[in-house]
Structure 1
Amino acid sequence: MGFLDAVLGRKGAGVTKTDKGELFDDDFQRKLDYLALVSKRVFAGRMRAERRTKKSGSGVEFADHRDYQPGDDFRYLDWNVYQRFDRLLLRLYEEEEDLAIYFIIDASSSMGFGDARKLRYAKRVCAALAYVGLANLDRVSIVSTTDKVLDRMPATRGKARIFKVFRFLNELEAEGHTDLEDALKAFVAQNKRRGLVVLASDLYDPKGFERGINVLRYNKFDPFVVHVVDKKDATPNLAGDVLLYDCETGDEREVTVTAKVLERFENAYGEYLSEIDRFCATKQVPYIQADVDVPFDELILRVFRRGGFLR
């Protein structure tokens, strides 16, 4: 059982079910409206240019000409060109397309370990970002994963659909073990339309967090990593002879915990965080560390400042 294969704890501790009653209360919903307004103000003028596709259609931005073919719509003939060159050419326009945003939330046991702070936080962050997407008329869908795709909320759009998001997220519980590569391979196979993928996870994957992110990259999705962290993971309250177990696999190990061991563990945890940051920076994958002790609305503003989400 390697370092950070999953959150380790005393035998007897376990995964806590999330409290469904308080996640999306009135105060939370009021903050969503504020965040949606901020997103429109900060990114006004950028979204049209960044969402433009290569498809030709009936948009407003001129793209090119092509020769007229029988059956083409006369409204798109370029009469100025016809008068000057005596040629019938059709004007082509670039077509704007709504953005597909996929939220993939890690619902493995490590996300619910102890008091389930990480899973609750991931739910609130996903709900807030989903609301911003819905307010911008993007197509939003949510997928929960472990080593496979557990459940899926089909794509929807429009602010009124946020309650559908709340219902889906409220039902998620932490279970199973993490395998991002297998789960995201299944996700890619099920979703042919490319788009932005927001991955909310603690990234405790025995096979390596890199594999799952690379599955998205290699299949032409645009990953945005929301790394859910609880700094308590780095400083476990352990001392003496203890029996540790992996909350995802059930593997056990007897360990004598000393101050020196705890120091080495904390240093290894810090290096692991740095490794994730370096990987994402090298691969140009937008990355943000989502500390569960940071208010969710402050974290969302950091996402806006980081860039890579609204496009």
Structure 2
Amino acid sequence: MSVKIFNEDFFKKLNKINMHINFKLSSGTQGGRKSKAKGVSVEFSDYREYAAGDDFRRIDWNAYGRFDKFFIKVFMEEREGVFNFFIDKSKSMDYGEVNKKDTALKVVGALSYIALNNLDRVNINTMESGTVKSLKSATGNKGFQRILKELESMEFDGSTDLSQSIKKRNLNSRGISIVVSDFLNNNGLETLEEGLKYLAFKKQEIILVQILAEEEINPQFNNEITFIDSETNENLKMSLTPSIIKDYKNSLKKYNKEIESLVKKYGGKLISVSSSKSIEEIILNDFSKKRVLY
């Protein structure tokens, strides 16, 4: 992947976008989001009585004149949001005429840019064969350039065990966890739920981003075909008929509804996109419709 995939006009559009956080922050360093903490920013929040040790320059003398007591102004502290990206690096993501892994990396790159542009912090985690690798957290423009270099060099291989990978990532602060995968694995939804339960326990807002190739969404009728599992190399010969393709599409639709219901159980969202869509359409349309961006 290269910076060139994001043209200048697209970056200008991203500059006007932010990501929703459905809770107020109470920890983290200074940033651009409202927190529960009180500080000395420019946005007024409330009054409280003066206490020993307070800065006397913050005394409101008008309030003193009315109540004959010392009051100080309390301002709303601004903190950074923490965005944790989990990227499925399994072999099944390396598929499609318009490759799923390329779309996945573009999505992570665009969302990282939006977060960093709004003074948030980004953590990139890659998942493969039940392991997790966490890259150095990033802030600011230099952090974004480093993220792009990491994404450019990323290779997709091995098998999928999302929950085992996610549970190995120690999350110390409340934040937003974005899991990017095709969610096509042999472990079932019960195993996926273990990972979602862990993220919810760690006080994460959960967003699942499913990337599917157009060939997986709308397979073409092609008589006899051999299916090969890219992660296990198992193969299956099958004669495709219109009725089989119809059953497949119905099963995929049902499966995605089950994923959506599961993530909703833990207060999260599912965004399912085709790799054939442009990154502009995915970010500016699909994510906005789900109220992930504003």
Task: Give the structure-1-normalised TM-score.
Answer: 0.76
After superposition, the C-alpha distances for 1:184-215 in whole angstroms (9 at most, x for unaligned) are 2222x2x3122222221111241423432332
What is the letter of the counterpart of residue 57 of structure 1? G
* Structure with more relative contact order (C-alpha pairs < 8 Å, separation 6 or more): 1
Task: Select which of 272, 281, 292 maps to 1:298.
Answer: 281
Cα pair 1:102 1:140 within 8 Å, conserved:
yes
1:176 aligns with 2:158: yes
Task: Select which of 276, 290, 293 maps to 2:259.
Answer: 276
Q: How does 1:78-117 map to 2 (within 5 A)?
A: 78-113=60-95, 117=99
Partner residue, 2:112: 130
Mark the CA change 1:241 to 1:24 in structure 2 (over 3 Å): closer, same or farther.
Answer: closer
What is the letter of the counterpart of residue 103 of structure 1? F
Partner residue, 2:27: none
Partner residue, 2:143: 161
Mark the CA change 1:121 to 1:156 in structure 2 (over 3 Å): closer, same or farther.
Answer: same
Cα pair 1:143 1:149 within 8 Å, conserved:
no
Unpaired segments ≥5 residues, structure 1: 1-22
Distance in 2 separating the partners of 1:127 and 1:89: 47
Q: How does 1:31-70 map to 2 (within 5 A)?
A: 31-39=9-17, 51-70=33-52
Distance in 1 separating the partners of 2:2 and 2:174: 29
| Identical-residue share of aligned pairs (%) | 26
After superposition, the C-alpha distances for 1:253-273 in whole angstroms (9 at most, x for unaligned) are 655445254443333122212
Partner residue, 2:198: 215
What is the letter of the counterpart of residue 223 of structure 1? I
Displacement of 1:236: 7.2
Distance in 2 separating the partners of 1:35 and 1:149: 35
Task: Select which of 57, 60, 69 maps to 1:75.
Answer: 57
Displacement of 1:226: 1.6
Partner residue, 2:291: 307
After superposition, the C-alpha distances for 1:273-306 in whole angstroms (9 at most, x for unaligned) are 2323344456542332221010111111011343
Greater alpha carbon shift after TM alignment, 259-268 vs 54-63: 259-268
Secondary structure of the 1:199 match is strand
Mark the CA change 1:272 to 1:233 in structure 2 (over 3 Å): closer, same or farther.
Answer: same
Aligned residues: 279
Partner residue, 1:145: 127
What is the letter of the counterpart of residue 288 of structure 2? F
Displacement of 1:168: 0.6
Distance in 1 separating the partners of 2:228 and 2:278: 31
Task: Give the structure-2-normalised TM-score.
Answer: 0.80
Mark the CA change 1:309 to 1:149 in structure 2 (over 3 Å): closer, same or farther.
Answer: farther
Distance in 1 separating the partners of 2:131 and 2:7: 28
